[in-house]
Structure 1
Amino acid sequence: MRTAKRGVVQIVLGTVLGQGLVVLISPILSRLYGPADFAVLQVFTGVVSVLAVLVTLRLELAIPLAKDDKEARSVFAAGLWATLIGSVVLGVAGWLTAPLWAHGQTLDALRAVFWIVPPTGAAIAAFQLVSAQLIRGERYRDLAVRNATQGVGTAAAQLGFGLLGMQHLGLLLGTGLGRLFGLASMRPRKRTEPVEKLAVGDLTAAVSRFRRFPLVTTWSAVLNNLSRYAAFPLFAVTFGVLATGSLAFTTRLLALPVTVVGQAVAQVYLGRGAAAQRTNPKDLPRLTWYATGRLALLGIVPTLVVIIAGPWLFGVVFGDQWVRAGDYARILALAFLAQFVTTPATHVFNIVERQGLALIADAVRLVLVVGGPLLVWQLGGSDLAGVTAYAAAVFVSYLGVLGLVWWALRDAARRPGSSKKPDGMSVSRPHAGGETERAGAASDES
C-alpha cells in the first residue's frame, strides 16, 4: 500500500506541474480564444479520443494483465501495428465522409483542419500504449515526468499559437504537440540481458488471449468517449456555438481534478489491481473502495465552492464573456464529482474481465446524455435546462457504474477458484515496512 501511495503522489506532482500550468494560463487563454474556438477544440478532442480508442483496440489495457514480459511486449507491438494501420484507414474515412457530418459553424471549422486529426489520434494511442508499459512496471516516477512534460508542452503551444492569432487551430495543435512532448520524455528502461525477438505468431497469440479487449472493451470505450463528447456537437446544432463554447470551457476546467488526481489514482489502481487479481484476488475489493472513498473525501469541498460561487469566480478570473460558463459549472459540479470518484473503479470491469458490464453502462450513459438535452431542446427549453439535463444524465450514470462495480466484484469473489493463486504465481508477502512484493514477477517492459 505504501508503494501505491508513493506512486499516486509522484504522478499527482507531475500532473500538477503540467496541468497546473494549464490552469495558470487559462485566464490568458480565455482572452486569446473565444467560445467558438473552445467549441471546436472540444469536438476535436472527442473525435481524436474515439479515434485513439479504435486504433489501439484497447490492447493497452491488456499490457498490465499479461502473464510475463514476452506477452506484454507482444501486446504492445500488436497495439502499435493496429495504431499505424487504423489511423490511416479511419483518417481517410473521416475525410471522405466530411460532407455528411460537417454541418454548422463548429463542425465546418473542424472539417477545414481535419488533416490534424489522424496524427493527433495516433499520438494519443501511442501515448496510451507506452503509459501502459510504465504502469505494468510500476514506474510511477516516469509517469510523473510524462504528465509534467505533456502539460508544459500543451500549455506552451496553445499560449504561443494564441499570441500568434491562430484561433482554434492553435488549441488543436497544442493538444497534439503536448502528447508528442510527453512521448519524447518516456524512454525504455535499459536491460542487462538480451531480449527475445517477437514473431508474428507471438503477436497473434497475445491478441487471441486478450480478444475480449478488441471485441468488447473497444466498443465500450467508444461508447464511453461518445457519452463524454457527444453533447458538444449536439449543443452546436441545437443551442448554438456560444452555448457549446461555454459548455466546452466549463468541462475543460471541471475535468482537471479528474485529470490531475483521478487519473493518477486510476493508473496506480490499475497496476496494483491487476497485480492483486493475479496473486491475491481478495485484495481487489479493498483496493477499489479505498480509492473510491479517498477521492470522494477529496472532491467534496471543491465541488461545494463551485456550486456556491461558480459564476462569480468565472467572471472575475476568466472575463465577463465566461460568466455563463460559471452558471454551467454550478450545474455540472455534482456530475463531475461523480465522475471523479468513479475514475479508478471503472478499471474493475477489465481486471475481472467483465467488459460486457462496462459496455452496457456506457451505452446507457450515451443514450441519457444525448436524449436528455435533445428532449429539452425539442420542448423549447433553454440552454441552462439542456445543461441541467446533461448533468443529471452524467450523475445518474456514474452512480449506476458504482453499482455495477460492486456487483462485478461480488460476482468475481463467488467464482470457483477465485481465492486461489494462479499457477506459477507466488504469494505476496509483507516486507518489514509493510509493502508487498511479487516474488518471481516478470520484468517490466520493453
Structure 2
Amino acid sequence: MSLFYNIWSKFSKSEFSRNVSSQILGTGLAQALPFLATPLLTRLFSEEDFALYTSFFATASIFAVGVGGKYHLAIVLPKEEVKAKKVFILSVYITISYSVLLAVLLPLFHSFFPDNLTVVLYYVPLYVLFFGLWSSYINVSIRHKTFTSNAYAKVLQAIGYILSAVAIGFSQILVYGLVIAKILGTVVSWLFLSKKSSIRFKLFSFRSLVPVAKEYIDYPKFGIWPSFLNTISLQALVLVLTKFYSTDDLGYFGLTFMVLSAPLGLIGTSYKDVFYQKITALMNEKKYIQGLVFFKKSALALFIMALPICGILYFLGEPIFAFVFGERWIRSGEFASILAFSFLVKLVVSPLSSIFNATNTLRTASQWQVLYFITTFATLLYGVYIAKLEVTSLLVVYVINEIILYGIYFWWQHRTIAKFVKL
C-alpha cells in the first residue's frame, strides 16, 4: 500500500495530474448527472425505448467514425498555430460534406436495418454532423490546454441531454425521446465550445488546405478504415443482440451500457485527452525515456482507479441495479457483473491508445483494430450460430475475448513507445 501511496502522491503534484483533475471534475459531473437522472429515465421510458436508443447510438457511432476525415485528431500536433488552424478548418469542411452525403445516401440502405430502427436512421446524419463539429473544437481545446472549457462543455452536454429527455418523457409530445435528447445535448456542448474557442471559423480555399491535408494524410489513410472496423467491433454486441436476441435483453443491456459508460467517460476519456497532450509534447521534444516512464505510470494509475469499480460491479451489480433503477432492471445488474472485467481492461488500455497518434504510428494501431474486428465477430457468431448460447453465456465468451485482445493491445502500445527509447 505504501508503494501505491508514494506513486499516487508524486503523480498528484504534477501539472499533468492537475489537468487530469480538471477533466475528471468536469467529466465526472457530466457522467454523474445522467447517471443520477437514469433512475427517473428508467421510469419515464420503457425497455423498448432503451433498446431503440442503444441501437441508434451503435449505428450513429459507426457512421461517426468518418467525421473530419480523422484530421481533427491532428489539430494537436502542429507547432505552428496557422497550420493547426488549417487542419481545424479542413476537419470542419470534411465533417459538413460527409454529413450531407450521409443524409442523401443512408435512406437508400434502410432495408438493411431492422424495421424498428428505420425511422430513427433519419436522425443519424444530424447527430454525426454535430458530433463532428464538437470533436474538432474539443481537439482545439486540448491543443491549447483549456481543459476547464472542455469540462464545462461536457457538463453542458449532460444537462442538455437530461433536460431534453425529462421534458420529452413527461410531456410525451415526441417519440424517440432519448435519441432526440442525445442530439440536443451535443448541440448545446458544441455551441459552448465554439464560443470559448481561441480559433474562429474562417473560410479557406480548398487549395490552401492541400498542404496540411497531404502532411497528415496518415490520419484518413490509416485512421478511418481501421477505426471503422474497431467501432463496429465495439458495437458488435449491440448489433448481435439486436439481430438475434429479444428486445427486452437489448433494453436491459442498453441500461448496462449507459451505466458502465459513466466511469469509462469519467476516467477514461478525461485521462485520454490530457495524456494525449502530454505524451505528444514529450515525443516532440524527443524525451523518449520520460515518455516511456510516463506511459507506465499512467497505466498503473488507471489500474488503481479501475480495480475498485470492477470489484463493486462484479460482487454487487444485481442488488445495486435493482435498488437504484427498480426491480425490473435487475437483469441489467446481472449483465454488469459479467462485463466487469471487460470494463477493467478497457479502462486501463483505451486511454493509452493515443500513443499511436502521438508517435504517428497509426499503421500499428490499425493492425490491432483489424485483429480485434475479426476475433470479436468470430467469437460472437460462434456463440450465436454454432454454440447457440443464451445471452449471459454469450457475454462471458465476449469478456474472455476482450481480456485477451486488450492485453495484446497494451503490449503493442508499450512496444511502440519502447522502440523510440532504443533509437
Question: Do both share a fold (TM > 0.5)?
Answer: yes
Give the letter for the 1:278 counterpart: N
Matches within 5 A, 1:313-328: 313-328=320-335
Aligned pair partner of 1:81 in 81, 86, 93: 93
Contact (CA 8 Å) 2:16, 2:278: kept in 1 or not?
yes
Contact (CA 8 Å) 2:313, 2:337: kept in 1 or not?
yes
Aligned to 1:422: none
Contact (CA 8 Å) 1:226, 1:366: kept in 2 or not?
yes
- 1:248 paired to 2:260: no
Contact (CA 8 Å) 1:153, 1:174: kept in 2 or not?
yes
Matches within 5 A, 1:12-411: 12-99=24-111, 101-103=112-114, 108-165=115-172, 169-186=176-193, 187-189=195-197, 198-282=204-288, 283-378=290-385, 379-411=387-419
Shift of 1:280: 3.0
Aligned to 1:426: none
- Would you say how many aligned residue pairs link Structure 1 and Structure 2? 408
Aligned to 2:23: 11
Gaps of 5+ in 1: 416-446
Give the letter for the 2:109 counterpart: T
Distance (Å, rounded) in 2 between the aligned partners of 1:199 and 1:314? 54
Instruction: Provide, for residues 304-361 of structure 1, a one-character-per-residue CA deviation record: whole Å limited to 9, x for no partner.
Output: 1111111111111111221111111111001011111112210011111111221121
TM-score, normalising length from structure 1? 0.87
Contact (CA 8 Å) 1:246, 1:325: kept in 2 or not?
yes
Q: Structure 1 residues 246 and 190 mapped into 2: Cα distance closer, same or farther (>3 Å)?
A: closer
Shift of 1:370: 2.2
Distance (Å, rounded) in 2 between the aligned partners of 1:102 and 1:195? 36
Distance (Å, rounded) in 2 between the aligned partners of 1:196 and 1:114? 31
Instruction: Provide, for residues 23-66 of structure 1, a one-character-per-residue CA deviation record: whole Å limited to 9, x for no partner.
Output: 11111111222222222212211222222221311111111111
Matches within 5 A, 1:419-438: none
Distance (Å, rounded) in 1 between the aligned partners of 2:305 and 2:144? 27
CA RMSD of aligned residues (A): 2.0
TM-score, normalising length from structure 2? 0.92
Distance (Å, rounded) in 1 between the aligned partners of 2:203 and 2:132? 23
Shift of 1:220: 2.0
SS of match in other structure, 1:66:
coil
Contact (CA 8 Å) 2:72, 2:87: kept in 1 or not?
yes
SS of match in other structure, 2:117:
helix
Contact (CA 8 Å) 1:258, 1:343: kept in 2 or not?
no
Distance (Å, rounded) in 2 between the aligned partners of 1:200 and 1:401? 37
Shift of 1:168: 6.4
Deviates more, 1:19-28 or 1:109-118: 109-118
Aligned to 1:431: none
Shift of 1:94: 1.5
Q: Structure 1 residues 246 and 371 mapped into 2: Cα distance closer, same or farther (>3 Å)?
A: farther
SS of match in other structure, 2:118:
helix
Shift of 1:368: 2.6
Distance (Å, rounded) in 2 between the aligned partners of 1:367 and 1:313? 35
Instruction: Provide, for residues 156-193 of structure 1, a one-character-per-residue CA deviation record: whole Å limited to 9, x for no partner.
Output: 112221222368611111111111111121124569xx
Structure (1/2) with the larger helix percentage: 2
Distance (Å, rounded) in 2 between the aligned partners of 1:66 and 1:18? 30
SS of match in other structure, 2:176:
helix
Contact (CA 8 Å) 1:33, 1:167: kept in 2 or not?
no
SS of match in other structure, 2:308:
helix
Give the letter for the 1:317 counterpart: V
Give the letter for the 1:393 counterpart: N
Q: Structure 1 residues 131 and 113 mapped into 2: Cα distance closer, same or farther (>3 Å)?
A: same
Aligned to 1:440: none
Q: Structure 1 residues 156 and 58 mapped into 2: Cα distance closer, same or farther (>3 Å)?
A: same
Contact (CA 8 Å) 2:76, 2:277: kept in 1 or not?
yes
Distance (Å, rounded) in 2 between the aligned partners of 1:254 and 1:352? 30
Instruction: Provide, for residues 120-168 of structure 1, a one-character-per-residue CA deviation record: whole Å limited to 9, x for no partner.
Output: 1111111110000000011111111111111111111122212223686
Deviates more, 1:47-56 or 1:60-69: 47-56
Distance (Å, rounded) in 2 between the aligned partners of 1:144 and 1:133? 14
Instruction: Provide, for residues 289-314 of structure 1, a one-character-per-residue CA deviation record: whole Å limited to 9, x for no partner.
Output: 22221110011111111111111111
SS of match in other structure, 2:131:
helix
Distance (Å, rounded) in 2 between the aligned partners of 1:324 and 1:153? 29
